[in-house]
């Protein structure tokens, strides 16, 4: 199957414009799976809950209805970051939308970064995978700063992920050291969809670094975007290949794990 990451510049508080762009990218794309950045529908740098109150929506709100329809029509899996409201709480979430809507689900970002802590609640979904039979794919999702915690990708991989997708708004470059390791030490494909552009609030500027990337299960780069352009990158993957965790005749990186010794002393 063909997977892709859309790297673009969401405009803060301009949901209509962002959605128009997202829809155009979906219609133009030729891949079976498309990953958009974190908070792709709203922009990133929220500072107050009442700002979020104007733009957050339930998982199965208007945006989801629009994207679900496209997913079904075009037979594509679509993952996009959005600001979610549920029971008066706000979450930094990713909608995971499958052509057959009974598989569609929401992931809520577990590890909140920087001033996200002022406005969002920590996610309560945990790290789950979804098996989609039409593409014979087991898909896991994490969001951006979750990369800092090897436990996130590990849990997804132990839950059987063939592919981990990571909608992101990354403001450093150090993740380029860690992300390939997450692919390698779990023997999974990994797609990072990062945004570009900057956002300024109260004299503080956040610059987003692009360089969206698709790794194979050895951490090799299959495709890489530039730091600042809007683009789609894509790669062919074979989800089945990620499932064999053997690295030679005598070693299997999952069955060799010795959990007897993984504890605090
Ligand atoms: C991040 O979690 N947006 C860096």
How far does residue 87's CA lie from ligand 1's centre (Å)?
24
Which one of 45, 170, 195 would you pick to mutate in the ligand 1 pocket, going by the greatest count of ligand atoms within 8 A of its CB? 170
Residue 250 maps to a domain = no
Model confidence pLDDT, tens digit, residues 118-170: 999 999 999 999 999 999 999 999 999 999 999 999 999 999 999 999 999 99
Asked, for residue 162, whether it belongs to a domain, the answer is yes
SS3 27: helix
% of the chain with per-residue pLDDT over 70: 100
In degrees and rounded to multiples of 5, residue 42 shows phi and psi of -125, -15
Closest atom of ligand 1 to CA, residue 111 = 2
154 in any annotated domain: yes
Q: Tell me whether residue 204 is in a domain.
A: yes
For residue 168, the domain's CATH number is 3.60.110.10
pLDDT in tens, 165-191: 999 999 999 999 999 999 999 999 999
Owning domain of residue 204: 2-240
49-76 residue pLDDT tens: 999 999 999 999 999 999 999 999 999 9
pLDDT mean across residues, the chain:
98
Give the full edge-to-edge strand order of the sheet including 89-97.
105-108, 89-97, 77-86, 33-35, 2-7, 231-236
* 153, part of any domain: yes
Residue 70 lies in a domain: yes
Is residue 26 a part of any domain in this protein? yes
Domain count, the chain: 1
109 is catalytic: yes
Atom of ligand 1 nearest to the CA of 172: 4
Nearest residue by C-alpha to atom 3 in ligand 1: 169
Task: Quote the tokens at residue 37.
Answer: 């950045």
207 in any annotated domain: yes
């Amino acid at each position: 199957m063909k997977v892709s990451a859309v790297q673009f510049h969401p405009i803060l508080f301009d949901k209509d414009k962002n959605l128009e762009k997202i829809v155009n990218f979906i219609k133009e794309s030729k891949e079976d799976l498309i990953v958009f950045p974190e908070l792709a529908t709203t922009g990133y740098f929220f500072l107050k809950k009442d700002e979020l109150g104007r733009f957050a929506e339930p998982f199965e709100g208007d945006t989801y209805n629009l994207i679900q329809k496209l997913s079904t029509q075009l037979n594509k899996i679509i993952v996009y970051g959005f600001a979610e409201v549920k029971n008066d709480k706000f979450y930094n979430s990713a909608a995971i939308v499958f052509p057959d809507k009974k598989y569609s689900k929401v992931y809520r970002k577990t590890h909140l970064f920087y001033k996200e802590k002022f406005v969002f609640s920590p996610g309560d979904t945990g790290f789950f995978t979804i098996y989609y039979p039409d593409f014979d794919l087991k898909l896991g999702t994490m969001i951006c700063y979750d990369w800092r915690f090897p436990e996130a990708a590990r849990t997804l991989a132990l839950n059987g992920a063939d592919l981990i997708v990571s909608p992101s708004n990354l403001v450093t470059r150090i993740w380029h050291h860690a992300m390939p390791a997450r692919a390698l030490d779990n023997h999974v494909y990994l797609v990072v969809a990062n945004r570009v552009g900057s956002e300024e609030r109260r004299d503080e500027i956040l610059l987003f670094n692009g360089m969206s990337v698709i790794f194979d299960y050895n951490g090799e780069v299959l495709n890489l975007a530039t730091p600042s352009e809007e683009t789609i990158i894509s790669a062919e993957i074979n989800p089945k290949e990620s499932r064999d965790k053997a690295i030679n005749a005598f070693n299997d990186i999952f069955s060799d794990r010795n959990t007897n010794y993984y504890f605090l002393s």
